[in-house]
Chains A and B, each alone.
Chain A
Amino acid sequence: MKKSTALLIFIILVYTFLIGPFLIIFLASFGSEELMTFPPKGFSLKWFHKVFTIVMFRDAFWSSLKIALGSTASALILGAPIAYALVRFKFPGQNFIEVIFSSPAIIPGLVIGFALLRFFVLLTNLPILLGLYIGHTAILLPYTVRVISSSLRNFDISIEEAAVSLGASRLKSFFIVILPSIKTGVVASFILAFITSFNNVPVSLFLTGPGVATLPIQMLVYMEYYFDPTIAALSSILIVFTVFIVQSAEKLIGISKYV
């Protein structure tokens, strides 16, 4: 009894630490004062209203959405063959490629953003949106490769061999035999990659430029000049969406297995 009570209190404290800050940001966004204080004084919805009147947030939201959808799609299209090759074949340099794709932190996003800016974007005068799209695709690849290859490892190779021996081409058997059975992994990597791109700061930090910025970068810029609850209100909106997506994804496909 004593053991379980102590553990219970411990767990409650850990969870409070993990999600308590989100509740606080939520409460803070209803404060009515110009300067952010906590506990908030008064009650007001004006900061939520203000979020939608700021044009730079609206523009940045659409850029973020475009970049996230585009780069997630590309990372899936590029990542699936890489994952397939890693699982099915043996080739030189395989270990190296596996290490690079095994964790997003191996090559930090900050370094990818910096390298792309320095040796690609600045040299070629690449349009900003295109640069962001390429940078985001690069950082999403580890997510799609890792999740899809772990789904492929659970897939019984003999089913594919059966399809091929019955006359299907490798490509055809991929689409009609393999893809349906790794569907969950593909959906999971789509959700993870989309959220990662939408929230990304390190790569975007280097690749945004005049006129084009992503939402997180625009929030950082705003924070440098104002300390009113607008960012709290916008953060609350983002947090509510995240909770909704994570909870539904957990129910439907058990997303926590793939993180």
Chain B
Amino acid sequence: MIFFLVPLFFVLIESFYSKAGRFTLIRYINFFMDSRNLFIYLRTLKLGLIVTIFAVILGYPTAYVISNAKAGRRSLLMSVVILPLMTSPVARTYAWLIILGRFGLINQSLKAMNLIKTPLRLIYTENAIIVGLLQLFLPLMILSLVSAMENIPDDLEEAARSLGAGWLKGVLLIIFPLSMDGLILGATLVFTGSITAYVTPAILGGTRVLTLSTLLRQKSLVLMDWEGATIVAVVMVLTTLILYILLRKLRPKLI
């Protein structure tokens, strides 16, 4: 505990106190006044939001199928879902380089179909980061939703149907409200995970499309601007904490 909380505490202190030892917010003001930093910060939040939205859209039907599957198939589906979380992040992201790269799957296929002459630039873009992050964090959304849906008794949906509700209405009126807790938990994990992830933006965004985490690395390990890096680190921690607390407040109390 001490080993890692004390250094974190020093980081926090350093960012709020001037050299003369007085409390100051000047470093944060300077950080956000710099339009490049602000742009990177907003981009990081935007990417996190987009990934979360896609994770909900893709995760919901998937979780619904998994939670209704028979035990044997369910176990297989679940073990495949968690694979992206367990695989080496370098290996997983490298796969997207092969797909999106200059001589990768998509460019080669488009060329073969005579749709393009020169390769498209697909890596080092925001979209590449979104795709990579989605593959990594979709499993977390699916897992949270499955565990929420499992707590819903099957009879409820059947009761709704026998009372004349169609399939879609049953899902919307019964499953959706009762799995809200899982949805919010999943969204928390996906959002906070996306804005703090390092390997995916490092490989698929490079230095061209920086996010908070790749900016932190650039400031500290490349530019040796330790003070600047400290600000990025604290901004990152505070943002995740605030998001975490806000989303926790949203969780329904009854369930």
Contacts and interface: CB of A to CB of B under 8 A. Distances in A.
Contact of B95 (A21, A118, A201, A259): A21
B173 interface: no
A116 interface: yes
Contacts of A117: 220
Contact of B233 (A10, A114, A215, A254): A114
Nearest to A99: B244
Interface string B88-108: 111110111111010111001
Contact of B83 (A119, A201, A246): A246
Contact of A36 (B80, B103, B143): B103
Contacts of B217: 110, 205
Interface stretch (B7-15, B21-29, B31-39, B176-184): B7-15
Nearest to B13: A119
A19 B98 contact: no
Contact of B198 (A195, A201, A215): A201
Interface of chain A: mostly helix, strand, loop or mixed: helix
B6 interface: yes
Interface in B135-160: 135, 138-140, 143, 147
Interface of chain B: mostly helix, strand, loop or mixed: helix
Interface string B182-196: 000000110011001
Contact of A18 (B81, B98, B104, B193): B81
A112 B4 contact: yes
Contacts of A17: 58, 134-135, 138
A201 B81 contact: no
Contacts of A114: 11, 216, 220, 229-230, 233
A90 interface: no
A15 B80 contact: yes
Interface stretch (A153-161, A163-171, A173-181, A232-240): A232-240
B220 A206 contact: yes
A122 to B, nearest CB: 9
Given A11-B65, A18-B135, A235 B91 contact: yes
Contact of A38 (B90, B103, B134): B103
Contacts of B118: none
Interface in A170-220: 195, 198-199, 201-202, 205-206, 215-216, 219-220
Contacts of B18: none
Interface in A84-120: 99, 103, 105-112, 114-120
Nearest to B79: A250
Nearest to B219: A114
B116 interface: no
A243 interface: yes
B216 to A, nearest CB: 6
- Most A CB atoms within 10 A — which of B64, B85, B134, B244? B85
Contacts of B199: 201-202, 216, 220
Nearest to B107: A38
A69 interface: no
A259 B143 contact: yes
A106 B244 contact: yes
A105 B80 contact: no
A242 interface: yes
Contacts of A239: 87-88, 91
B250 interface: no
B237 interface: yes
9 contacts: A103-B244, A105-B196, A111-B8, A118-B220, A199-B89, A205-B221, A238-B87, A239-B91, A245-B86
Given A21-B96, A99-B244, A201-B198, 10 more contacts: A7-B64, A22-B92, A36-B98, A108-B240, A111-B236, A119-B6, A119-B7, A216-B199, A231-B91, A259-B140
Question: What 8 pairs between A and B have smallest CB-CB spacing?
Answer: A235-B91, A21-B95, A138-B4, A108-B196, A250-B79, A115-B7, A119-B7, A256-B78
